[in-house]
């Protein structure tokens, strides 16, 4: 899937989530409120924030995998001898390290998952490994503080069962717009490479 399709996919997911949150808000403020939503606002706010951050992590993973695949495709098309690169990097140590084939460097999904996070600074580092400097984009810079605060809040909810009583449903909808702007900024930079 190309980066434009990924952007559209995740923006659609965010917009659908905004509709769910707006419906939840309507159930709370209705003349006859829905008791399930009214009595569990904190639970729903937590769940929605977790989903907002999860969508971002999924987008980042798919985008990073797509970028890594493109890099590997270029390496394979270049037909560079495996042994030459490893010899120059001093990674040939035993006879089993030799391979009489073209170099290929496919992405290791486990390694990617270890380096991947919605955490802004981990995101910056991961994309540096992929040859992309996200910090050149003004919208990325403008939104990274808000994203960082919300990801930290999400982590406290997941790891310490903190509450989300300071988050209203309209706040969450506004936060989704920040995540969409952030996602678009990342996508804009990725497309340049």
82-101: pLDDT as tens digits = 888 888 888 878 888 888 98
Cross-strand bridge partners of residue 69: none
21-64: pLDDT as tens digits = 999 999 999 999 999 999 999 999 999 999 999 999 999 999 99
> What's the domain range around 37?
3-78+106-192
Whether 88 maps to a domain, the answer reads: no
Q: How far apart are CA 167 and CA 49, in angstroms?
A: 9
The count of structural domains within the chain is 1
Whole-prediction pTM value? 0.90
Whether 94 maps to a domain, the answer reads: no
Q: How far apart are CA 100 and CA 182, in angstroms?
A: 44
Whether 91 maps to a domain, the answer reads: no
Whether 159 maps to a domain, the answer reads: yes
């Amino acid at each position: 899937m190309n980066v434009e399709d990924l952007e559209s996919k995740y923006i659609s997911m965010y917009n659908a989530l905004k509709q769910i949150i707006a419906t939840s808000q309507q159930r709370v403020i209705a003349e006859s409120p829905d008791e399930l939503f009214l009595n569990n606002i904190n639970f729903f706010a937590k769940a929605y924030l977790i989903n907002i951050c999860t969508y971002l992590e999924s987008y980042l993973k798919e985008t990073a995998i797509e970028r890594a695949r493109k890099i590997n495709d270029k390496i394979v098309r270049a037909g560079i001898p495996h042994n030459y690169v490893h010899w120059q990097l001093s990674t040939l140590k035993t006879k089993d390290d030799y391979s009489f084939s073209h170099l290929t460097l496919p992405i290791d999904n486990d390694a990617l998952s270890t380096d991947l996070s919605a955490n802004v600074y981990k995101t910056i580092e991961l994309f540096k490994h992929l040859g992309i400097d996200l910090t050149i984009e003004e919208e990325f810079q403008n939104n990274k503080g808000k994203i960082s605060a919300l990801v930290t809040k999400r982590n406290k909810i997941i790891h310490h069962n903190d509450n989300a009583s300071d988050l209203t449903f309209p706040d969450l909808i506004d936060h989704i717009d920040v995540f969409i702007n952030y996602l678009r900024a990342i996508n804009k930079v990725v497309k340049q490479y």
